[in-house]
Each structure stands twice: as structure tokens, then as C-alpha cells.
Structure 1
Amino acid sequence: MAIVPEEPVLIKPVGVVISDFKKCSRTFDYSKESIVCMREDLTNALIGIEYFSHLHVIYYHHRREEWLKLIEWEQAEPPITIPFAGEPACQGVYSTRSPSRPSAMGSCVVELVKREENRIYVKGLDALDGTPVLDIKIYIPHYDAFPLAETPLNWCKANDLITTSRHFHWNTINVGLTLGLRTGAKALQEIGICRGEAVVAEVAGGHFFAQGIEGATGCSVLQGNMVFEEKNTSPGQWKLKLIGRESDVEIRLNDQIYSEASEVLNIGEDVLFAYVQKKPRSM
């Protein structure tokens, strides 16, 4: 078994970031320029770097505590699992680009605009003003670019990327889809109808949750028999009201985060649902 060293590794910064990005935020404008100001004694180490279009910048999250306050984290140690945006699931920090890394290391591929002596002007560096730079490295497309690299579908969607993965990352992302399938199936059971027999479904929750309900009940926004209210919140505010010809049922979910889809499939209804109420329809 490999033994992970426990002694700290001391690294002397090679530079510092000068940027208009001065406060912690949940968003960042990657079109903005900033400067990597290198130590003067390393000026000659930069000779020839201006002939490259992009660089890797490795830095230290020296203001990580501010980010932890931004996300209202109150425990002593930074979180190693992060809630998935818009889904009732969590990811390990190493499957995110979150600052909540145990090493507090950050990295970014940036566009090199120009170099003036020991000052490197770059575009797209997501580091705060004053961030210590630990290293820079030339970006070579032949070795560093992988056009067919895959990312989970919803990760792309959450970050407004132009392309999406060919893979549907079931275990993590589709907790919401699985919740929708179970909620829709429970609603059909409660009012004693089959798929396609409901008059309308009123849904509040995430997109995958609505998609799961569509799969179970046959109700759809496209068909005009689903009313959908998007809620990018935890499941405590997600609900389904399924209306049949003789009765309807309203189901609300418990406020819970799940590790993967299989967990949703295996838990009891008392854990899954906070509220299930059937009513006869008024004629």
C-alpha cells in the first residue's frame, strides 16, 4: 500500500496575479484580461514564452476562506463534496473546479496576450487579485488538447458550453431523473391510473425531475398536459400534482441530498416523500 506523505511541501511563489477580479464571486468573466507579474529574478526564464498562444497557470487559493463564507460553509474543514447545481446530488470536489480543494491549488489555461519583461498579460485567468502564482507552463495542443474528451452532460449544461458529452452520467447527475420516475409512479399508483391516463401534471423542480415524471406519467409540456415550474433548489421545494379524471394527488419530497441514483431507487417512501395526499376531483 502506498503511503501518502504527511509533511507539508513548501513552494516559493514565482509571481502574483494583478486583476480587476478583487472579490469572491460565483461567476467569472473569462473574457477579461489580467497580469501575471513574475519575480524579477525570473525575467530571463520567460524568454520565448511570447511565441505561444496559451499557458497553464498554477496558483494558490490564498483567499479560500472568503469563498467558504460565500457558500455559507461553517465547519472547520473545507467541504470535499459539493452540491451539484440544480440537482439533489453531490460531487466529490475532484470532479469539480471548486476552490474547495484539500491542497488549495488552482489551475487555469489562459490566452497569452503579450509579455513585457516580467509581466505576462493574459486573458481568462480565474484567480483573484493578489493570488500567489506557483508555476506557469506552456500549452501545447498536441499534448494538452483532447477534442473527444468527455464530460457529463449536465456539467456542460450548467456551464453554458457549446458542446456536450456523448455520455449520460447516470449515477451522479440523474438523481433528479430517478426522483421524477419514482414520484410519477407513486402518483399513478395513488389515484389508480396507468401511464397516459392523467389529465395534467403540475411539476415544480429541476429539469431532470420533470423529465422523470414525463417518463412515468406520459404528461409532457410539448403535449400541453404538463405545467412546469423550474426550481434550482434542494428537493424540499419540489412537488408533483397529478390530476386524473376522478381524483388527484399531490406529492412533496423530503429535503435530502443523494449520493447517486441507485440510492433513490432503494430507499423507502417514508424517506423519499414528505407529503402524499389524494383528493377526489370536484365535479
Structure 2
Amino acid sequence: MTIVPEDPVSIRPVGVVVSDFKKVSRDYDYNKESMIYVREDLASALIGLEYFSHLHVIYYQHRKQDWLELVGSAPEGASSLTIPFTSEPACQGVYSTRSPARPSAIGSCVVEVIKLDQNCIYVKGLDAIDGTPVLDLKIYIPHYDSFPLAETPLNWCKGNELITTSRNLHWDTINVGLTLGLRAGAKAMRVLGISRGEALRAEVAGGHFFAQGVEGATGCSELRGNMAFKKLHTSPGEWQLSLVGKDEQVQIRLRDHIYSGAAEVLEVGEAVLFASIQKSKIG
């Protein structure tokens, strides 16, 4: 059996990030420029770096906990090893994400080198915030570092509007929200006593795939003009569906819960899925 070393490794930073990016955020503008201030005693180690267009930057995620709190990665059943999937009531293992919350707290980024001025490296595209300790630098060589045929799951890092999301679905990895939408839409139709295509309109608030599930179940769609969709990057506790029939309407609110996969959504009872179901007369 292979024994993994448990003793901590001590690394002295080689520099620090100087950037206008000072707050932990979900978003970062990769067109922004920042500077890496390298220790003065290492200045000679930078000779020749200006002839390379790109650079690997290895850094320490000193504000990892702030990011975990921002994305709310401590819901029921989750931990720092699992990260909430954007707009999905499900989690991914941190090693299948680009999350700035690695167990080792080591981050990395490929940046464009703008210029070298003594021990200051001006770069574009560094996703580390101001004050981040830099642990190492390594030149980027396309022949060794670029793999054009490398594979990633469809939709892994796409932000699509509903019109395109419904046509780019990777069922194996992004399906919890869609399954919740199917169950919510089916329940709403049962409450109203109608079939698919008979609802006059739907109002949906939640993730893209939740909206697509409602679309599949009810037949209401933004493409047909009878669905109003509000995108929410929140936990499912704020997701809801309002479905309007001829004489009645129903509003369904989801319960805040993190699911392991679509199978769990299909198997659990409605008491787990729905926080409230309210039917009312129209007019």
C-alpha cells in the first residue's frame, strides 16, 4: 500500500500579486492586467523571461475560506471537497472543477506576459487577487503545454441563454436541475388537472436546466412566448414555478436541498422536493 506523506511542506513565496482585483468574487475579467512583484534576491532568475509570451503562475490561495463562504459550499451534505455546481442543486468534487479552493490551497493560472521591468512582471489574465503569495513561475511552451484534442464534458464551462442551453445538454453531468423541473412541471399539471400543452403560461425562477425541465413537462417555452424565465444563481430554496391553466393557477416552491444526482430527484417524495404547493382561482 502506498503511504501518502502527512508532514506539511513549507514553501517560501517567490513574490506577491499586485492587482486591482481585491475582493473575492465568482467572476474575473481575464483581460485585466496585474503585476507580479518578485523578490529582489530572485531578480536574476528572471533573465530571458521577457522573450516568452505566456507564463504558468503557481500561487497560494490565501483567501480560500472567503471564496467558500461566497459560493455557500457548506450546505447540507457538502464540504470543502465538494463545490456547488453553478445554477444546479448538486455538487461536483473539487478536483473536477477549477474552483479556487483546492485542498492544498495551491492555485495555478496561465497568463500573458506584457513586459518585464527588473523584478516586476506585468501580466494579463491572472486570476489571483491582490496580495496573493506567488509560489513559482514556469514558462509556457505550446508544444508541451497545449493539447487541442483534450476532452471536457459538454457545457462544463458554458454560460448559455435558455434558447441554446436546451440544445446543449450533457445528461451525465448536468441533470439534477432538469429533473427537478420535470417533477415540478408534472406536479403542477396534476394539481390543475391538465395535460402537456394545455397550460396558458408558466413563470419560472431558477437555473437554466430547471427551466428546461419545466418546458419539457408542460410544453410552455420562451420560444413559444408562453414562459417567463428568471435566471437565479441560488440554492433551490428560492426556485419556483407558477403554472396558469384556464381557470386556476398553481405556485410550487422547491425545498432547499442538495442532491447527489438525478436518480435521487426521481426517487424522493414530494415532501422533500417541494416546500409549498398553492392552488388558486384566476380572477
TM class, shorter-chain normalised?
Answer: 0.7 to 0.9
Residue type matched to 1:137 in 2? K
After TM superposition, give the deviation of residue 133 of structure 1 in Å. Answer: 1.5
The 3 A distance-change label for structure 1 pair 267 and 57 is same
Higher alpha-carbon deviation: 97-106 or 246-255: 246-255
- Contact 1:90–1:172 (8 Å) recurs in 2: no
Match of 2:90 in 1: 89
Report what 1:3 is aligned to.
3
Asked if the contact 1:198–1:244 (Cα under 8 Å) also holds between the matched residues in 2, the reply is yes
RMSD: 3.0
Larger mean Cα displacement after TM superposition, 260-269 or 225-234: 225-234
Paired with 1:34 and 1:279, the residues of 2 have a C-alpha distance of: 56
User: Comparing 110-119 with 243-252, which one deviates more in the overlay?
Assistant: 243-252
Aligned position for 1:203: 204
Structure 1 residue runs of 5 or longer lacking an equivalent are none
The answer as to 2:36 corresponding to 1:33 is no
Separation in 2 of the partners of 1:34 and 1:264? Answer: 44
The offset of 1:54, in angstroms, is 0.3
Alignment of 1:220-259 (within 5 A): 220-259=221-260
1:136 maps to amino acid = L
Identity of aligned residues (%): 69
- Asked whether the 8 Å contact 2:71–2:84 carries over to 1, the reply is no
Give structure 2 stretches of 5+ with no counterpart.
none
In the alignment, what sits opposite 2:126? Answer: 125
Q: Which runs of 4+ in 1 moved over 6 A?
A: 72-75
**Normalized against structure 2, the TM-score is what?**
0.84
Q: Size of the alignment, in residue pairs? A: 277
Change (3 A) 1:4 1:230: same
Comparing 6-15 and 169-178, the one that deviates more: 169-178
Change in Cα spacing, 1:133 to 1:159, as seen in structure 2 (3 Å) is farther
Q: Deviations over 1:220-244 (max 9, x none)?
A: 1221222323333222222222223
Contact preservation (8 Å) 2:240, 2:251: yes
In the alignment, the residues of structure 1 paired with residue 157 and residue 146 of structure 2 have an alpha-carbon distance, to the nearest angstrom, of 17
TM-score by length of 1: 0.84
The verdict on how the C-alpha distance between 1:227 and 1:53 changes in structure 2, with shifts beyond 3 A counting, is same
SS at match of 1:157: coil
Distance in 1 of aligned mates of 2:105 and 2:171: 29
